[in-house]
Amino acid sequence: MTSLFLLQLLNGVQFGILLFLIAAGLTLVFGIMDFVNLAHGVIYMVGAYLAVSFTQMTGSYGLGLLLTLPATLLIGLVLELLVFRRLYDRPHLDQVLATFGLVMIVTEGVQIIWGAAPLSVAMPEALSGSIPLIGQMRYPVFRLVVIGAGLATALGLYLIIGHTRIGMRLRAGATSRAMVSALGVDIHKLFTVIFAFGAMLAGFAGAMVAPILTVDPGMGEQVLILAFVVIVIGGIGSVRGAFAGALLVGIVDTMGRSFGPILLRLVMEPAAAGQAGRVLAPMLVYILMAAILAARPTGLFGQKT
Amino acid sequence: MTQSRTILALLAASTCLAGPAAAQDDDTLTIGLLLTLSGPSAVLGEMARDGFQLAAEEIGDIGGMTTRIIVVDDELKPDVATNKARELVQRNGADIVVGPIFSNIMGAIAKPVVDSGAILISPNAGPSVFAGAECHRNIFATSYQNDQMHEVMGAYAQAQGFDNVFLLAPNYQAGKDALAGFRHSYEGGVAGEIFTQLGQLDYSAELAQIAAMQPDAVFAFMPGGMGVNLVRQYRQAGLETIPFLSAFTVDESTLPAQQDAAVSFLGGSNWAPDLDTPENKAFVEAYEAKFNQVPAVYAMQAYDAARLIDAAVREAGGVADRDALIAALEQAPFTSVRGDFSFGPNHFPIQDFYLTEVVKREDGKFATSIVEKIFEDYQDSYVGDCQMD
């Protein structure tokens, strides 16, 4: 049981790391630009599709991943210049409508280009195995790589935001947009950079999951909701909060799914426990969110306003 | 005379189809294909459409009549499907509707289709109600009854003497039916039973439990993209020493994405591309040449539906006399690519079922391959509830 617990903990961390990669970009855009971007999920999806195509073209997943990064950065730039720039001063409802329209357009476009059937990327040979963990338990190497890549990204973001000039502007922008603008910082340029960077992070997440999960036209929407939960728990605009929130959501979700029914069985009949566990497990994350918001209305690391 | 009638018809059509003006005449056979052609599951509908149209091209005039085939997408939404079905039978005057892929759509389209007097032929969905209590003389299935594929795997697990099988399915009606079907013919012990969220992508938590329990085998019902993820992650987690039994989880619609990860995984089916009949060889060859992919059961069952319609309409001498047409369909006067095929009194097939295994063929493509026959001339267990008037 202990080894199962450890394994599930590792699974939870891995899922959380993945959520962090998506939520990081979302929280930057939402927190600093005050912009609700429902299209963040489809950029993640496009990243995964591009990774599939680039991998097929170059024959190497590593190269495919490297090419995906500038490609999604470029997509972020183009979208910002063409669409989002016009929406910053509009109310949230307009932003929701416009980005939701974009979700539909991109999803349909992806189906036209790549087809509706799920695609996949062959995992690089060197990373495709599993390593023994404890006893019979094994853990896939690639999932360890995902954890490593996520931690590296988190560290990189921490350094950029905490210890560089652009990071300082970012933090200032998150606190008071008008003041930063008044001090002579070109806020539009800053927004373009943040947006493109956020898109690249989403694309990176998409490319990282392509060897584990299927690449299909519905993948963006499923993950977007959880990403919003993560940034609300962590505090909107806080990358540190997104990291904590993502790990929390990942671990609670994974643990709840596997140990919820087991724990319930201690107090209920097995059949009823199975039934209740099935109902409760998907709700746990949202219960967690409600509990955290009740205690800290701005999230774990949110600024008091 | 003919010319003026054509002009009149065109005029009527151009006035925005004000009513069923371009009425069907008696020597045209109108067939509506109502399939899921968008969304993540579109590939199943596309295969069925391609299979049907392949047969239609080979036959030419289906049933010796001028044939009009209308293809519509049900979007996997029951309300959309109801409207599209009504449109097909009322505005387009469809004599026969072939569809749907998914069982929940079947409930939505059956009534509008049969109420208009048209025939409904399911190329895939086989919900228990239409095989039993709500069977109807206008409804046929060229596929199977949903439980049967799972019963095949249950019977195999039983025959292998497994006594500790882990069951895995999504938490919705078909998932529950799947596990019930498996248990129908399996009496051994169950190591664990997990219902996952519908559309779940990551199965690491479930796979960890399987690794901890080390069951004799795993039985999974994970259609579409869920199966692709499960199978790949199962292999990545190093669980391939535990036999993987499944239904609708490893087939030719998912294999292009699963590839090597699915090799040697087992499934239950009423057919596989390498089934040894001359009709099947010809069908698989033609399909692969035309669409550059290996057909799955959905393509095969739609192909058979077209062959069935052709033979029955010829036998009945047209579609105007519905009673004669139904009587002809009941005789199944065609040679199925599956070989033995006949209809039970509930208009569901009586056919053989097989254990299949995923193989990598010499040309590098992946396909299922028949290992052994599990059931001979097998009929569903709901036929007793069917009271057809």
User: pLDDT digits over B7-27, tens only?
Assistant: 444 444 444 433 343 444 567
Task: Find chain B residues with C-beta within 8 A of A116's C-beta.
Answer: 38-43, 46
User: What pLDDT was estimated at residue A130?
Assistant: 81
Task: Find chain A residues with C-beta within 8 A of B42's C-beta.
Answer: 111, 116-117
Q: Determine the 3-state secondary structure of B19 from DSSP.
A: coil
Window 160-179 of B, Cβ < 8 Å to A: 171
End-to-end CA distance of chain B: 44
- Tell me the torsion sign for CA atoms B176, B179, B184, B187: negative
Q: Using the beta-carbon criterion (under 8 Å), do B42 and A274 form an inter-chain contact?
A: no
Whether B302 has its CB under 8 Å from any CB of chain A: the answer is: no
Out of B201, B212, B225, the one facing A4 most closely (by C-beta) is B212
Would you say A30 and A38 are in contact if contact means Cβ atoms under 8 Å apart?
no
Query: For residue B260, what is the nearest residue in chain A, using CA coordinates?
Result: A122
pLDDT tens string B199-256: 788 898 889 889 888 999 999 999 887 888 899 899 988 898 999 999 999 999 999 8
Q: Using the beta-carbon criterion (under 8 Å), do B238 and A130 form an inter-chain contact?
A: yes
Whether B7 has its CB under 8 Å from any CB of chain A: the answer is: no
User: What pLDDT was estimated at residue B25?
Assistant: 55
Looking at this protein, which amino acid is placed at residue B193? E
Alpha carbon B40 to chain centroid distance? 17
CA distance B67 to chain A (A): 29
Q: Which fold has domain B25-144+277-351?
A: Rossmann fold (3.40.50)
Is B321 a residue whose pLDDT tops 80? Answer: yes
Task: Find chain A residues with C-beta within 8 A of B238's C-beta.
Answer: 129-130, 138, 140
User: What pLDDT was estimated at residue A271?
Assistant: 66
Task: Find chain B residues with C-beta within 8 A of A212's C-beta.
Answer: 202, 229, 232-233, 236
Say yes or no: domain A2-295 is CATH 1.20.120: no
Out of A3, A214, A278, the one facing B171 most closely (by C-beta) is A278
Task: Find chain A residues with C-beta within 8 A of B232's C-beta.
Answer: 120, 212, 214
Q: Using the beta-carbon criterion (under 8 Å), do B228 and A219 form an inter-chain contact?
A: no
Out of A15, A258, A281, the one facing B202 most closely (by C-beta) is A15
Buried b (16+ CB within 10 A) or exposed e, B155-170: bbbbeeebeebbbbbb
pLDDT tens string B166-214: 999 988 878 888 999 999 999 999 988 888 887 788 898 889 889 888 9
Say yes or no: domain B147-269 is CATH 3.40.50.2300: yes
Task: Find chain A residues with C-beta within 8 A of B257's C-beta.
Answer: 117-120, 214
Q: Name beta bridge partners: B190.
A: B165
Q: Determine the 3-state secondary structure of B354 from DSSP.
A: strand
Out of B197, B208, B257, the one facing A120 most closely (by C-beta) is B257
Is A272 a residue whose pLDDT tops 70? Answer: yes
Whether B236 has its CB under 8 Å from any CB of chain A: the answer is: yes
Would you say B34 and B76 are in contact if contact means Cβ atoms under 8 Å apart?
no
Q: Structural domain boundaries of chain A?
A: 2-295
Return the residue in A214, A249, A264 with the most chain B beta carbons within 10 A, the one to mutate for interface testing. Answer: A214
pLDDT tens string B120-136: 999 999 999 999 999 99
Q: Using the beta-carbon criterion (under 8 Å), do A4 and B236 form an inter-chain contact?
A: no
pLDDT tens string A214-242: 888 888 887 899 999 999 999 888 888 99
Out of A138, A218, A274, the one facing B237 most closely (by C-beta) is A138
Is A277 a residue whose pLDDT tops 70? Answer: yes
User: What pLDDT was estimated at residue A134?
Assistant: 73
Phi, psi (deg, nearest 5) at residue B38: -140, 165
CB pairs under 8 A between A and B: 107
Out of A213, A254, A258, the one facing B201 most closely (by C-beta) is A213
Q: Structural domain boundaries of chain B?
A: 25-144+277-351, 147-269
Would you say B252 and A155 are in contact if contact means Cβ atoms under 8 Å apart?
no
**Bigger pLDDT: B244 vs A128:** B244
State the pTM of this model: 0.79
Q: Do domains B25-144+277-351 and B147-269 have the same CATH topology?
A: yes
Q: Using the beta-carbon criterion (under 8 Å), do B258 and A140 form an inter-chain contact?
A: no
Q: Using the beta-carbon criterion (under 8 Å), do B229 and A136 form an inter-chain contact?
A: no
pLDDT tens string B82-112: 999 999 999 999 999 999 999 889 999 999 9
Cα angle B106, B111, B117 (rounded to 5 degrees) comes to 120
Residue B125 exposure: Cα atoms within 13 Å on the Cβ side: 26
Out of A118, A142, A278, the one facing B228 most closely (by C-beta) is A118
CA distance B16 to chain A (A): 28
Residue owning tokens 């919705």: B172
Residue owning tokens 């057809």: B388
* Averaged confidence pLDDT in chain A: 87
pLDDT tens string A133-168: 777 678 888 999 999 999 999 999 999 988 998 888
Is A256 a residue whose pLDDT tops 50? Answer: yes
Return the residue in B190, B194, B201, B214 with the most chain A beta carbons within 10 A, the one to mutate for interface testing. Answer: B201
